[in-house]
Structure 1
Amino acid sequence: MHPFALDPRLDRDTLPVMSLGLCDLRLMNDSRWPWLILVPKRPGITEMHDLTPLDQTMLTFETALVADCMKKTLNAAKLNIGMLGNVVPMLHLHIIAREPGDPNWPGPVWGVGTREPYGDDEAARLVDLFRERVLCP
């Protein structure tokens, strides 16, 4: 079995936040939405059912942990949580904080407009904020 390696597109489009028990937590580098991504550190996995039952449980737990952190930290009106994998087949889960009036509200975020990367200071602030709050709500 090959060791885990992050998909190059996820590596390019996201910033590392922290490593959890199963997943790497990453910040999507698009300032239009607060958007975190969980990537299970398992090589060759493309679907949730490909994970072991224990890893499925861990992914559910880590999803709830990160979602609760985002909701409370950002006072988000709604969270969008999903797995698509149409462009990046590596299993990864999106958690996106949404607000009425955000770009494309209430529609989906995928394929809307052009990505607007964070400035270095704002990216560092958000990474630090989530790193601090995910495990210490």
Structure 2
Amino acid sequence: MGFSIHSKLKDDTFNLGSFQLCEVLLMNDSRFPWIILVPKIPDLRDFHEIPSQHRDVLFQEIERASEAIQKHQRVDKMNVAALGNQVPQLHIHVIGRLKTDEAWPNPVWGHGTPIPYDITSKSNVIQSFKRELAIAER
């Protein structure tokens, strides 16, 4: 079967574009600068399943997403995680954290209610991240 993004990820995010290995998504939660990377490898579920020839590229793309978040908003800490308990497809969360955010110092998952981007800020944030990630318009 070919690659496709899990429906829950599609429902919860905006697609920013593609890197060499990953689709790049923005979580629709304005409380945190939050990018999700989804390797474009069909049926991939866990980190240990990533083919060795893709591991360096994945790390570089995580670094690229982290740097874009830091340019977008100076954060105190970068959280990088792959849980997959609700969405079995391997996806990597890259989340900028502030010591003043409502979940600090705990994980963002299950804390409070997501605040979706409004129409204006959604457009601005998407364009900003596309610039910072050097992702061309499709």
Same fold (TM over 0.5): yes
- Secondary structure in 2 matching 1:36: strand
- For 1:82-124, what per-residue CA distance to the aligned partner results, in whole angstroms no more than 9, with x for missing partners? 1100110100000111111211111110011111111121111
- Secondary structure in 1 matching 2:16: strand
Q: Which residue of 1 aligns with 2:36?
A: 37
Give me the TM-score of the superposition, normalised by structure 1: 0.94
RMSD (Å), alpha carbons: 1.2
Gaps of 5+ in 2: none
Contact 2:71 2:132 in 1 (8 A): no
Give me the TM-score of the superposition, normalised by structure 2: 0.93
Mapped partners of 2:68, 2:113: distance in 1: 27
Once the 2 structures are TM-superposed, how far is the Cα of residue 77 of structure 1 from its aligned partner? Answer: 1.2
- Secondary structure in 2 matching 1:81: strand
Mapped partners of 2:68, 2:29: distance in 1: 19
Q: Which residue of 2 aligns with 1:104?
A: 103
- Compare 45-54 and 19-28 and name the one that shifted more: 45-54
- Secondary structure in 2 matching 1:54: helix
Mapped partners of 2:114, 2:75: distance in 1: 21
Once the 2 structures are TM-superposed, how far is the Cα of residue 32 of structure 1 from its aligned partner? Answer: 1.1
Mapped partners of 1:72, 1:126: distance in 2: 12
What amino acid maps onto 1:122 in structure 2?
Answer: S
Once the 2 structures are TM-superposed, how far is the Cα of residue 135 of structure 1 from its aligned partner? Answer: 2.7
Mapped partners of 2:8, 2:72: distance in 1: 27
Mapped partners of 2:96, 2:118: distance in 1: 19
Q: Which residue of 2 aligns with 1:67?
A: 66
- Secondary structure in 2 matching 1:127: helix
Moved over 4 A (4+): none
Q: Which residue of 2 aligns with 1:77?
A: 76
Q: Aligned residue pairs: how many?
A: 135
Contact 1:28 1:37 in 2 (8 A): yes
Mapped partners of 2:4, 2:67: distance in 1: 27
Mapped partners of 1:121, 1:19: distance in 2: 23
- Secondary structure in 1 matching 2:110: coil
Q: Which residue of 1 aligns with 2:113?
A: 114
- Secondary structure in 2 matching 1:60: helix
Q: Which residue of 2 aligns with 1:14?
A: 13
